[in-house]
Amino acid sequence: MHNLFKIAFRNLMRYKRRTLLTASLVAIGVIFVLVFVGVSGSFKNMIIGQITGSMLGDIQIHRKGYVASIENLPLTLNMKPQAVARVEKALKEMPDVAAYSERIKFGGMFSTFAETTNVRLNGVYPEMEMNTVPLLSSRIVEGEKIIKKGEILIPELLAKGMKAKVGDTVVVIATNKDGSVNGKQLRVGGILESATGPGGRDGYVHIEDAVEILRMDEMEISEIAVRLKDFGKLHSVFAKLDAGLSQEHNKEGKPIFEVHTWEALSPFFNIAQMIDLMTLFIKIMLIAIVLVSVMNVMIMAVYERIREIGTIAAIGTLPGKILTMFVIEGFSLGILGAAVGTAVGLIVVFALNVAKITFSFARQTGLVLSPTIGLFDILITCLIVIVVAVLGSLQPALKASRMEPIEALRHV
Amino acid sequence: MELIKAENIGKDYTAGEVTIRALDKVSFEIEPASFVSFVGPSGSGKTTLLNLIGCLDKPTEGKLTVADTDITGLDRKQSASFRGDHIGFIFQDFNLIPVLTVYENIEYPLLMVQNVPAKERQKRVASVIEAVGMTNQKDKYPDQISGGQKQRVAVARALVTNPKLVLADEPTANLDHKTAYMVLELMKRMRDEFKTTFIFSTHDQKIVGEAEIIYTMEDGQLAGREVKGGSHA
């Protein structure tokens, strides 16, 4: 095998310029793929991290039918304490769950005494919420980074529009599920930066304040957000949780709960899918580049060496070995292109990290692009290049191996 | 026991709707360690005959036995193996592999065809490379040596596998007379040393005299057989 590689290498070096041009083309393709995967992957992961880490959580559990009416924040579809206890039990039994947070979501009126507007609020246990969505505190741009009883965190846009500042006294008025209206004076404890996606412009109050405003006899929870220890296990944990909770039925025999990953709750998932699709197209382009360039070079190589093929076939080289010789040439071209492309791609990604390029997404500004390329992506890209290079050389190699030596020797 | 036995072999080529009879009922026998020449004008069938003996082509009719094997029934792979095991080739244009050195060109059939172990390979290459007087040039590439030297390398490559038979189609056509004689002398010496049968084709009358058995070909048929020292038409 070593000798086959030696002959392949020398044959490639026989036409240095052509080999370098082809390898460069393959390398450029690899660079594009790696940089695109690095940049788009980092953008995607950053936004997903923001969405799940600052508001949604990785998984959410609701009473069956709640998500379909989520825009209305229906208080009639909250979970009763017994149901919440069942969910808590299930979550505590799952070692992959890092934290969870129970929320009462409701809509109401927000008044500064001078002006009144609509507001969507989350009543939360501060510690549970911060453990479940740890990036929430980073969104508090003014005020203390905690949610205290008797205080409200209001979204930035609301604060601007209503000219509300930290320390101001405001009133929150809400209608409970029985239609009774109640209000409570709260102090503005902090101002929240807007985030992308549903809930990104919601305010926060302590859960006990929410219970008081809504005059709940017993605490009814709208949703339970769950944070996982390992985000990579999202789908397996979701499957387990969904399977476990779907066994729970009410007296009518209907399921009590519904479980969703962030993907079903945030429209950014569609953008993430678009990014994945674009990555796929870029990879298909890479395949096309490698296939066409390697095939072209190998067809030329076979055509230029017909007499040589005739000679080695005449002196007894088996067709399989002739095929291997040419496939190894294509394989070597693929290796060369993949190696150079990977090296340059890593340098470009490193340079982008050093440059600290910032970008904005929706209302989020100053996000720093920090592309990273995982070993898996590098291996997959290199594997694609090498496999396609081998496939690209297969047809010319087959042609070479099937040549009749007598005809090849006659070739001028 | 003869090394080659041809019985009424014929070969037709088809070009469009025209069939050309390249060989017509050719029969002969060649003994081991012979030094044989096929002579005749261009188109007389010399190359066709050599291609058939060399398992590079198949006769349209007749039976051709080489080294006790009926080679007319071999498939592509069997033909390649047979050539690798029993036949050496010397080409008019030398046909050395340009990316391999003199040494590597000679080593090629042992390495890539017969898979001979390294030690044995080194011994055999050293032996033939010395026999053809190319030891000092062993690290040069084909484009760094002369035509005569290239043909000496080709002779060494043909002999390194210890074949029963070496076929040379116009081996001296691209050489000057002095070099051509030297190459033929070398081939003869190799025949004496390795007991290999050499068959070469030529249309050069001056070179023909170097053969010990001369077959004359005309219009695809054997027109005469001459053994040095007497004629047997």
B101 contacts in chain A (CB < 8 Å): none
Q: What residue numbers bound the domain in which A378 lies?
A: 2-51+270-410
Claim to verify: residue A148 and residue A177 sit in the same structural domain: yes
The DSSP string of A312-378 is HHHTT--HHHHHHHHHHHHHHHHHHHHHHHHHHHHHHHHHHHHHT-EEEETTEEEEEP-----HHHH
A156 in any annotated domain: yes
- Contact (Cβ atoms closer than 8 angstroms) between residue A102 and residue A75: no
Distance from the Cα of residue A197 to its chain's centroid: 15
Residue A79 lies in a domain: yes
**Given CB atoms, is B162 within the 8 Å cutoff of chain A?**
no
Same domain, A35 and A122: no
Residues A238-262, mean pLDDT to the nearest whole number: 88
DSSP secondary structure of A102-164? EEEEEEEEEE-SS-EEEEEEEEE-HHHHHHHSTTHHHHEEEE-SS--TTEEEEEHHHHHHHT-
CA pair distance B89, A316, nearest whole angstrom: 10
Query: With contacts defined as CB-CB under 8 Å, which chain B residues touch A319?
Result: 76-77, 80
Token pair of B172, please? 């001296």
Q: What would the two tokens of residue B89 be?
A: 């080739």
Is residue A142, in this structure, part of any structural domain at all? yes
Query: Looking at the complex, does the CB of residue A405 fall below 8 Å from at least one CB of chain B?
Result: yes
- List CB contacts (< 8 A) between B85 and chain A: 316
How many other CB atoms are found less than 10 A from the CB of residue A182? 14
Q: Assess if residue A56 is contained within a domain.
A: no
CB contact under 8 A, B113 and A316: yes
**Residue A241 covered by a domain:** yes
pLDDT digits (tens, 9 = 90+) for A166-208: 999 999 999 988 888 999 999 999 999 877 666 667 899 999 9
| Cα torsion angle, A280, A284, A285, A290, sign | positive
Distance CA B85, CA A208 (A): 94
For residue B38, give the H/E element and its range. Answer: strand B35-39
Q: B56 vs A409: CB contact, 8 Å cut-off? A: yes
Query: Are B113 and B90 contacting, i.e. CB atoms less than 8 angstroms apart?
Result: no
Q: What is the pLDDT of residues A292-332, one digit of tens each?
A: 999 999 999 999 999 999 999 999 999 999 999 999 999 99
CA atoms within a 13 Å half-sphere pointing along the CA-CB vector of B126: 6
Nearest alpha carbon to residue A159 among A122, A188, A129: A188
Report how far apart, in Å, the C-alpha atoms of A331 and of each of A1, A32, A328, B58 are: 13, 20, 5, 35
In DSSP terms, which residues pair with B19 in a beta bridge?
B14
Same domain, A323 and A183: no
The answer to whether B163 contacts chain A (CB < 8 Å) is no
Q: Where are the alpha helices (DSSP H) in B28-67?
A: 46-53
Average pLDDT over residues A120-134: 94
What are the extents of the domains in chain B?
A: 4-232
d(CA B47, CA B168): 9
Residue A291 to chain B, least CA–CA distance (Å) = 26
Total CB pairs under 8 A between chain A and B: 67
| Residue in chain B nearest A316 by alpha carbon | B84
User: Are the C-beta atoms of residues A93 and A237 closer than 8 Å to each other?
Assistant: no
Examine residue A59 and state whether it is found in any structural domain, yes or no. no
- The answer to whether residues A276 and A129 belong to one domain is no
Q: Are residues A187 and A114 part of one domain?
A: yes
Structure tokens at B15: 């070009």
Separation of alpha carbons A340 and A245, rounded Å: 51
Q: In what order do the strands lie in the sheet with B197-202?
A: B87-90, B165-169, B197-202, B35-39, B213-218, B221-227, B230-232
CATH architecture for segment(s) B4-232: 3-Layer(aba) Sandwich (3.40)
**What long-range pairs does B177-180 form, CB within 8 A, spacing at least 24?**
B177/B206, B179/B146, B179/B147, B179/B148, B179/B151, B180/B204, B180/B207
User: Quick one: A240 and A278 in the same domain?
Assistant: no
Cβ within 8 Å of residue A293, ≥6 positions away: A22, A25, A26, A392
Alpha-carbon distance of A270 to A197, in angstroms, equals 12
Chain A residue whose CA is closest to B157: A315
Report how many domains make up chain A. 2
pLDDT digits (tens, 9 = 90+) for A367-388: 778 888 889 989 999 999 999 9
Looking at chain A, the whole-number percentage of residues with pLDDT higher than 70 is 98
Q: What is the DSSP string of B131-187?
A: HTT-GGGTTS-GGGS-HHHHHHHHHHHHHTT--SEEEEESTTTTS-HHHHHHHHHHH
CA distance A404 to chain B (A): 8
Whether A57 and A103 have beta carbons less than 8 Å apart is answered as no
Is B85 close to A316, i.e. CB distance below 8 A?
yes
Residue A57 counted as domain residue: no
Identify whether residues A360 and A226 lie together within a single domain: no
Residues A28 and A144 in one domain: no
Place of tokens 């890092």: A98
Give the number of residues written for chain B: 233
Confidence of residue A362 (pLDDT cuts 50, 70, 90): low
- Asked if B76 and A319 come within 8 Å (Cβ–Cβ), the reply is yes
* Whether B95 and A10 lie within 8 Å, measured CB to CB: no
**Touching check for B62 and chain A: CB below 8 Å?**
no
Residue A412 contacts B where some CB pair is shorter than 8 Å:
no
Does residue A311 sit at the B interface (CB-CB below 8 Å)?
Answer: yes
Residue A1 at interface with chain B, using a CB cutoff of 8 Å: no
Q: Are residues A76 and A27 part of one domain?
A: no
A220 plus A186 within the same structural domain? yes
- Amino acid identity of A182? N
Scan residues 7-26 of A and list those with Cβ closer than 8 Å to B: 7, 10-11, 14
Q: What is the pLDDT of residue B231?
A: 41
Residues of chain B with pLDDT under 70: 229-233
Alpha-carbon gap, residue B108 to B10, rounded angstroms:
33
Cβ–Cβ contacts within 10 Å for residue B9, how many?
Answer: 23
Same domain, A333 and A235: no
CA distance B91 to chain A (A): 9
Q: Which of B81, B87, B99 sits opposite A11 (nearest CB)?
A: B99
> Chain A contact for B100, CB < 8 A?
yes
Q: Are residues A129 and A29 in the same domain?
A: no
Q: Using the beta-carbon criterion (under 8 Å), do A314 and B108 form an inter-chain contact?
A: no
CA distance A315 to chain B (A): 6
A321 touches chain B (CB under 8 A): yes
Q: What is the pLDDT of residue B230?
A: 43
Element (H, E) at A172: strand A169-175
**Contacts of residue B98 in chain A, CB cutoff 8 Å?**
14, 308
Q: Residue A215 has which token pair?
A: 């005059």
In a domain, A260, yes or no: no
SS3 A18: helix
Q: Can you read off the two tokens belonging to residue B200?
A: 């070469």
Q: Which residue out of B11, B49, B53, B56 would a mutagenesis test of the A interface target, given it has the greatest number of A Cβ atoms within 10 Å? A: B56
By Cβ distance, the residue of B80, B85, B91 closest to A317 is: B80
How far apart are the CA of B75 and the nearest CA of chain A, in angstroms?
12
In terms of C-beta density within 10 A (0-12 exposed, 13-18 middle, 19 or more buried), how is residue B208 classed?
Answer: middle
Q: What is the pLDDT of residue A188?
A: 94
Say which DSSP state A68 is in.
G
